[in-house]
């Protein structure tokens, strides 16, 4: 499975985080692929202290800090030594909603996990989780789909300038929990 396939595969799966406050879980409804040779990818410049988790075996967390305020989470996508990942851009709230709302403020269900920075804030994800294996049950992991996913559509990626034309963003069509402008949600 390559990075692009993983980005599609992850739609509908769940992200679960167990904390002392309780369990939080969300259903992945939007992803973006950052593939090998992609000038927009963090791994493009080669392995560094910051991005080394992208070079781990498929299924590990790469968490980075951006714009002085936000964290975003990726799933490493290729075999060891190859840098590529899938950015988690939006989740549908499933469990631990009151915990997440406490972290994010009094936001609607639709805005709670809509956007990479928002979902990381709500789920309590920071650099502590960087490098963790998401494929085995631990503090944070990826679970099976809880319901049948709707049709998956692709679009240009959001928030980047380099290689922005590539159709490497994937989302569940019609989901109210997807980020981005309306034309990129239907």
Partner DNA sequence: AGTGCGATTGACT
Partner DNA sequence: GTCAATCGCACTA
d(CA 105, CA 103): 6
Q: Which of 20, 37, 67, 144 binds DNA (CB under 7 A)?
A: 67
The DSSP-derived string for the chain is --HHHHHHHTTT-EEEEEETTEEEEEEEEEEEEE-TT-TTSGGGG---TTTGGGGSSTTBEEEEEETTTEEEEEEE-SSTT---EEEEEEEEEEE-HHHHHHHH-S--HHHHTBSHHHHHHHHT--GGGTT-BSSSSSSEEEE--SS----EEEE--SS-STTTTS--EEEETT-TT--S-GGGT-
As measured in angstroms, the least distance from the Cβ of 101 to DNA is 12
Please select the residue that binds DNA; options are 10, 29, 41, 94, rule is CB under 7 A.
41
Is residue 153 involved in binding DNA (CB under 7 A)?
Answer: no
Residue 101 or 146: the one with the smaller Cβ distance to DNA is: 101
Task: Tell whether residue 53 is a contact of DNA (CB under 7 A).
Answer: no
Query: According to CB under 7 A, which one of 51, 53, 155, 175 is a site residue for DNA?
Result: 51
**Alpha carbon distances (Å) from 181 to 11, 67, 134, 174:** 19, 21, 30, 12
Is residue 117 at the binding interface for DNA, with CB under 7 A as the rule? yes
Instruction: Please say which residue, 69 or 148, places its beta carbon nearer to DNA.
Output: 69
Nearer to DNA, 96 or 115 (CB): 115
At closest approach, how far in Å is the CB of 66 from DNA?
A: 5
Nearer to DNA, 23 or 127 (CB): 127
Residue 118 binds DNA (CB under 7 A): yes
Which parts of this chain interact with DNA (CB under 7 A)? 32, 34, 40-43, 45, 48-51, 54, 62, 65-70, 72, 74, 85, 87, 104, 111, 115-119, 157-162, 179, 181
């Amino acid at each position: 499975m390559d990075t692009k396939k993983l980005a599609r595969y992850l739609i509908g799966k769940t992200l679960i985080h167990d904390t002392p406050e309780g369990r939080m879980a969300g259903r992945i409804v939007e992803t973006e692929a950052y593939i090998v040779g992609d000038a927009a990818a963090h791994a493009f410049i080669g392995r560094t202290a910051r991005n080394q988790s992208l070079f781990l075996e498929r299924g590990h967390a790469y968490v980075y800090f951006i714009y002085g305020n936000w964290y975003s989470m990726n799933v490493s996508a290729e075999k060891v030594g190859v840098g590529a990942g899938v950015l988690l851009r939006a989740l549908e709230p499933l469990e631990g909603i009151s915990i997440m709302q406490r972290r994010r403020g009094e936001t609607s269900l639709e805005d709670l996990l809509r956007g990479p920075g928002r979902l990381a804030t709500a789920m309590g994800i920071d650099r502590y989780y960087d490098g963790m294996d998401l494929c085995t049950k631990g503090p944070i992991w990826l679970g099976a789909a809880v319901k049948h996913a709707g049709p998956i559509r692709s679009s240009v990626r959001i928030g980047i300038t380099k290689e922005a034309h590539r159709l490497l963003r994937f989302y569940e069509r019609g989901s109210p929990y997807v980020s981005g402008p309306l034309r990129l949600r239907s």
